[in-house]
Amino acid sequence: MRGSDDTGASGPATARAVTAWSGIPLRDYFILPLLSIVTVVVLFIVAEAVTRVVWYEHEDNACVIPGDGYQIKPNCTARTKSAEGRWATFRFNECGYRSNTSCGPVPPGTLRIAIVGASVSQGFNIPYEDSYFALAATDLGRACGRPVDVQNLGKPGSSPLYTYRRIDEALALKPDLVLMLLAPFDIEQQIDPHELAARNEAARPPKPQAVRETRSLLRRLQLLITESRTVLVAEHFLLQNRDTYLRLYLNYGDKADFLRQPFTPAWKQRFEDVDLIMGDMTAKIHAAGIQFVVMPVPSRAEAAILSAPHVPPGVDGFAFGRELENMAARHGAAYVDLMEPFSKIPNSQDLFLIVDGHVDSSGQKVMARALTRKLLDGSFPAFSGCALPPDGGNGRAVVTP
């Protein structure tokens, strides 16, 4: 292309329109930048179209009752697929719990586990057969020689306070134990102090009406880009690299401060709130003569830190788990250590959906294995006399000895 005459001065008429010092017609000062912008837009549209086909996503809200909160229709089935994950079928029983069995009275000879918590507890975007609770139930059933029934009350987006309010619902199921999973992002939102203070009141304080955000054109454009599939796919590849992911994640500020020691005042407050809730929750569950198990689920960032050879000073991948362990010990709840098994797996950050951040099907096996081992360690009367299957159970594929 070099050397070609690009002054645009091919004839007398054109020559008049060409500025002497620039060598291009005046109109090109508008046309060329516009062409660039149009090209970028067209590229984006093409990329979005391609990624939407290749990285298909399907959100099925057929089972969600519109209105306040996340209420599930009884006996409903939905099929969803996240862009990074596989198709997952969600079957909800007559109580709206993710379970293949009825929430009615516990059949004789059957052990029942009630799970509470948020998306991680529910097995969000994970096919039922791959979920930690289905795998654990199968292993426990084999270990004990009797069926283990799981009633999963987990609801995406549930705060610890919301989970606490549903404890009575869980206890009404007459389970042998109640299991609560907590990930760092479950406690990220600061709990309203008034709501926290009124946690034991029968009538819930009215929820503030959601304020409809007025979005400027720029904000809408920003959302269009950040929420696009193209950006998701780009992030997926960018964040595959552990070092890049960690470097970017640690820049998040408050969101990432649970990884730093000492905790910031904001995170100290969050832990204090969770501590208060966990104390009340444990007391209620124990009062019903039921055991309570707390299982912290590492975030992808924690997993990356746990398996990284070098971490920046002041960063501690075990901090969140240690905090919950101390809380559980203070209140007499049992604790399943997931940090340790994740730390022993090389590149354990690969056990997560990269952008979505939830544990993937491989990671579910690690969770199932740790849960099964804990429940069979002899400290749970309901599972006394049960022994781990000789083949190691469902988690064996990815778990180190």
Partner 1 sequence: MMGSASLQFVAYGLIVACVSNLHRSVAWRQFVLLAGSLGFLAFFSLDPLVFAPLAVFLGFGFCGVRIIQFRDKRAFVPLLCGGILAFVWLKKYAFVPSATYLSHPYITLGLSYIFFRVLHLLIDAHSDNLPGKISVPSYLNYTLNFTTLVSGPIQTYQDFAEMQLAAPPRPLSVAIAGHAIARIVIGFFKVNVVSLFLSMGQSTALAAFGPNLGSGQKILTGAAIAAIYPLYLYANFSGYIDIVIGIARFLRIELPENFDRPFSSKSFLIFWNRWHMTLSAWLKTYVYNPLLIAMMRRWQSSTAEPYIVVFAFFFTFFLIGVWHGQTSVFIFYGVLLGLGVSVNKLYQILMMKWLGRAKYNSLSRGLLYGAVARGITFTWFTASLLWFWSNWVQLAALAASLSAAEIAGVWAVVLLASTVVLAIYESARDWLLSFQFEERPFLTSRYARTVWCTIVTVITVTTLTLLNAPAPDIVYKAF
Min. distance of Cβ 43 from partner 1 in angstroms?
A: 5
Min. distance of Cβ 39 from partner 1 in angstroms?
A: 4
Backbone angles phi, psi at 181, to 5 degrees: -100, 140
Closer residue to partner 1, CB minimum distance, 237 or 252: 237
Closer residue to partner 1, CB minimum distance, 32 or 197: 32
Core vs surface per residue 333-352: b (16+ CB within 10 A) or e: bbbbbbbebbbebeebbbbb
Closer residue to partner 1, CB minimum distance, 35 or 329: 35
Closer residue to partner 1, CB minimum distance, 21 or 208: 21
Closer residue to partner 1, CB minimum distance, 32 or 54: 32
CB contact at 8 A, 190 and 166: no
Distance, CA of 183 to CA of 63 (rounded, Å): 25
82: burial class by Cβ within 10 Å (0-12, 13-18, 19+)? Answer: buried
Backbone angles phi, psi at 309, to 5 degrees: -65, -35
Distance, CA of 289 to CA of 124 (rounded, Å): 30
Closer residue to partner 1, CB minimum distance, 1 or 211: 1
CA distances for 262 relative to 179, 305, 325, angstroms:
29, 17, 17
Closer residue to partner 1, CB minimum distance, 198 or 234: 234
Min. distance of Cβ 206 from partner 1 in angstroms?
A: 46
88: burial class by Cβ within 10 Å (0-12, 13-18, 19+)? Answer: buried
Helix 242-249 × helix 300-307 angle, to 10°:
120
Q: What token pair was written down for 142? A: 């084999």
Min. distance of Cβ 251 from partner 1 in angstroms?
A: 15
Min. distance of Cβ 301 from partner 1 in angstroms?
A: 17
Min. distance of Cβ 29 from partner 1 in angstroms?
A: 8
CA distances for 280 relative to 116, 195, 205, 206, angstroms:
15, 14, 19, 22
**What DSSP state is assigned to residue 370?**
H
Min. distance of Cβ 249 from partner 1 in angstroms?
A: 14
Min. distance of Cβ 32 from partner 1 in angstroms?
A: 5
Closer residue to partner 1, CB minimum distance, 149 or 350: 350
Closer residue to partner 1, CB minimum distance, 2 or 310: 2
Min. distance of Cβ 3 from partner 1 in angstroms?
A: 8
CB contact at 8 A, 173 and 133: no
CB contact at 8 A, 338 and 326: no
Residues near partner 1, by CB under 8 A: 1-2, 4-8, 10, 14, 21-24, 28, 31-32, 35-36, 39-40, 43, 234, 237-238, 241, 244
Q: What token pair was written down for 180? A: 């609560």
